Amino acid sequence: MLTTLPDKTLALVDRQMLPRYWATVWTIFHAGGLAPSTHKRKLSDIEALYEHAEQTNVCLDDLIARLDLDAIGHVLEAFFISLKNLPVPSSQALRRWNMAFHFVRDVCERIARSPHTARRMVEVREKIATLDRLYMGLRPQRRRIASKVRALPKDVVRELLDVATPGSASNPFESVSTQWRMYCLLILLLFQGLRRAEALVLRVDSIETQRDQETGASRWLLRIHLNEATSDPRAQVPSIKTADSVRVLPVTTTTANVIQIYVENFRGKPNHSYLMSSARQQPLSIEGVNKAFRRLSEALSKEARHSLKIATGTDFVTPHALRHTCAVLRMKQMLGQGQSPEQAMSHLRSFFGWAKTSLMPMHYAKAALDERLNETWNDALDERLEFLRGLP
């Protein structure tokens, strides 16, 4: 079972409350860069494999310690079948299978590198490769056909920016400070492609200017990293997703100016270091963001919400839909500049904080090449705020 140790670290224990050995090893060597929520989810998936093995009176830790890959293969196969036969298959089944398989492979490979198993290294690696071929590509449920990237239509983005602009007659927020807070957040999500949690952990000094040594020109940078604040009063604490999410992004002068105006004139002087601050001078919460986006969505015209419904399946704009939109536009821009799909996907991984092996950019490459999206978004991303708001 999953438990929290006295030092607040997460761990798996058996029914006698003893640590599950190889799950602990995996945590030490593979979970260091994970957000607590991601770590917890992955440990829950690993625990499901342990529990399934115990139901057949098998000790998974013993099998791994002996590198009995034949027996481990049988456990994995039975676990796969149990997931496949769930009454209501879900995406959790696929996630759980992938995590369980990679856990077993990772710890077996680590044992194989030990001097004590040097004589068996070739044999072990061959068997691990066999496990790869047999099980890595399996899916406990049929993959959805025509998975759709839910980027926002151009008319919706244009109207959303008009509605969110401070001072707009259609802006749903009465307070000017709230208008600037939400406008700043919208710009960060749409033009920088931030995750909601990433925007909420930004420090007030996360944006900085540097001088290019070659040209002498100034450029703006946004640092995405953990906020080292001693405490966070929010009930649901946002966090950086993985180590790959820590990055530095280029920022246009327009975006930098929006952030500076908000900080210097409308953020107030709260007793915390987070960039986004609520009307009560507390760090802006995830729930606060969700409620604000619902109000922005309700302020859209019927035509825009209808267009939104057709494109995304919902008539509410979500923070993550802005990230989708940014990713599609950046992919389309890079492909239009002559970059190969492989180069563009590599740049996208860096910009959006995905792991080097992430397949996420492939979805956006497909969407960027989709003829319908090309008709909807046929403008360069770099024009940013003024250009998007002035689209015909």
What is the residue-level pLDDT of the chain in tens, covering all 392 positions? 888 777 667 888 888 888 899 999 998 888 877 888 888 999 999 999 999 999 888 999 999 888 887 888 788 878 877 777 665 456 678 788 888 888 988 888 888 776 665 555 556 566 666 656 655 555 555 544 445 557 788 889 989 999 999 999 999 999 999 999 999 999 999 999 999 999 999 999 999 888 877 777 788 999 998 776 667 888 888 888 777 788 899 888 888 999 999 999 999 999 999 999 999 999 999 999 999 999 999 999 999 999 999 888 888 999 999 998 888 888 877 877 887 777 888 888 888 888 776 767 776 666 665 534 444 444 434 444 443 443 33
pLDDT digits (tens, 9 = 90+) for 232-272: 888 888 888 777 788 899 888 888 999 999 999 999 999 99
Q: Which residue bears the tokens 């003024």?
A: 386
Q: Model's pTM, two decimal places?
A: 0.62
Instruction: Supply the Cα-derived Rg of the chain in whole angstroms.
Output: 24
pLDDT digits (tens, 9 = 90+) for 293-333: 999 999 999 999 999 998 888 889 999 999 988 888 888 77
Phi first, then psi: give them for residue 202, nearest 5 degrees. -60, 140
Structure token digits, residue 209:
């200017």
Closest CA to 361 of 344, 378, 380: 344
pLDDT at 132: 60
Q: Which residue bears the tokens 């940078």?
A: 221
**Residue 122 burial (10 A CB sphere; 0-12, 13-18, 19+):** exposed
Q: Is 340 left (phi over 0), alpha (psi -120 to 50) or beta?
A: beta
CA atoms within 13 A on the CB side of 107: 27
Full 3-state SS string of the chain: CEEECCCCCEEEECCCCCECHHHHHHHHHHCCCCCHHHHHHHHHHHHHHHHHHHHCCCCHHHHHHCCCHHHHHHHHHHHHHHHHCCCCCCHHHHHHHHHHHHHHHHHHHHHHCCHHHHHHHHHHHHHHHHHHHHHHCCCCCCCCCCCCCCCCCHHHHHHHHHHHCCCCCCCCCCCHHHHHHHHHHHHHHHHCCCCHHHHHHCECCCEEEEECCCCCCEEEEEEECCCCCCCCCCCCCCCCCCHHHCEEEEECHHHHHHHHHHHHHHCCCCCCCECCECCCCCECCHHHHHHHHHHHHHCCCHHHHHHHHHHHCCCCCCHHHHHHHHHHHHHHHHHHCCCCHHHHHHHHHHHHCCCCCCCHHHHHHHHHHCHHHHHHCCCCHHHHHHHHHCCC
